[in-house]
Amino acid sequence: MAGVADDVPGGPLAELAGEPLPPAYRWLRTAGWGVARVFSILALAVAWEVAARSGAFTPYMLPSLSAVLERIWTDLIHGELLLNTGVTLYRALTGFLIGAVVGIVLGMAISRNALANWFFDPIISVGFPMPKIAFLPVVILWLGVYDLSKITMISVEAIFPVVTATIIGIRGVERELLWSARNMGAGERELLWQIALPAALPQIITGLQVALPIALIVAIVTEMFMGGYGLGGAMNTASRFADSRGVFAGIVEIAVVGYALVKIMSLVRRRLLLWHQEAVAPSTV
């Protein structure tokens, strides 16, 4: 997909218009862009360190990056980091998986069954845009302050994007596919599992890719609200004790976990959709 981003002096379009560049120069330029990518992250890290050490901010407002990294290292050695990360991941992923399974099954039911469609459609169209996190105190009232309430809250938030994506995906399946399968003698069940579901898979995975970060956001919020173990709980404790290094360490840890999960999810997508034509298209940011 040629875009405006390329339509600048030195962009690929310039090559198309003028004479081709010598390969050595081209290689150099690619390497240059690569350096630039690492550069901006490094620049941010250096800016953080310099700003913190310059004395413009108190160490309470902005602890230096090195101090924060040191703190993360201590957490790692004492095993707290692994424990908290494990607990948070367990909650987020369990909630996400429950939400994914329920969401896909519900989405299939809604797109195949008129009664399910009639009953669930208004609930989903009203429930999707609602900030369901507002129900957190209600969920705590019903299910307590331990894992059950957290995982419930996470899966409730995760269900909605998955259901909607599943419905859209199944509805968008090409009719020719369904017709020819039916023509070859496929029953309703085979039609759903072997034709509609695989054909809807790209959309469904997109829904899962929306739900996963939400699951993590909600996991962190529930942990912050209730305290205890987990990355959110640790940040909660740190901020109660005005331990700003702990707070910043928590942000870095949570950011790394979020980044890793999103990357893994896009790898899963690529793996599951190897057969799909989107596998050849370059991915966006």
Partner 1 sequence: MREATASRPAVFRFHLLGVPPMKAALLRYLPLLLLALAWEVGARTGLVSTLALPPLSTVAAAWIELLKDGELITNGAASLWRAGAGLFLSIVIGAALGIVMAWWRPVNVLLSPLVEMFYPMPKSALIPVTVLWLGFGNGSKILLIFLGCMLPVTLGAFNGARSSEQVLVWSARSMGANRLRMLWDVVVPSAMPELLNGIRTALALSFILLVSSELIAAREGLGYLIGFLGASGTYDAMFAVVLTVALLGFIADRIYLVLMQRMLRWQA
User: Which positions from 60 through 99 interact with partner 1, judged by CB under 8 A?
Assistant: 60-61
Nearer to partner 1, 184 or 242 (CB): 242
232 binds partner 1 (CB under 8 A): yes
Binding of partner 1 at residue 259 (CB under 8 A)?
Answer: yes
| By CB under 8 A, residue 37 contacts partner 1 | yes
55 sits near partner 1 (criterion: CB under 8 A):
no
Asked whether 230 and 218 are in contact (CB, 8 A), the reply is no
Q: Is 280 in the site for partner 1 (CB under 8 A)?
A: no
Tokens of 52: 């913190």
Find the shortest distance in angstroms from Cβ 46 to partner 1: 13
Tokens of 232: 């959110």
103 near partner 1 (CB under 8 A): no
- The binder of partner 1 chosen from 59, 86, 137, 144 (CB under 8 A): 137
- How far apart CA 270 and CA 278 sit, in angstroms, is 9
| 220 lies in the binding site for partner 1 (CB under 8 A) | yes
Task: Considering the complex, state which of residue 148 and residue 187 has its C-beta at the smaller distance from partner 1.
Answer: 148
To partner 1, the closest distance from the beta carbon of 130 in angstroms equals: 4
Binding residues for partner 1 restricted to 200-219, rule: CB under 8 A: 213, 216-219
For 172-196, where are the alpha helices, taking DSSP H only?
Answer: 175-183, 188-190
- The residue with tokens 């909600």 is 218
Size of the site for partner 1 (CB under 8 A): 80
Min dist. Cβ of residue 55 to partner 1 (A): 17
The residue among 204, 178, 247, 230 whose CA lies nearest residue 99 is: 204
CA distances from 62 to 42, 51, 59, 92, 224 (A): 18, 8, 5, 29, 21
Q: What whole-number distance in Å separates Cα of residue 153 and Cα of residue 136?
A: 7
* C-beta separation of 135 from 124 below 8 A: no
Segment lying near partner 1 (by CB under 8 A), choices 78-86, 133-141, 181-189, 272-280: 133-141
**Residue whose token pair is 């050595």:** 24
Q: Does 114 bind partner 1 (CB under 8 A)?
A: yes
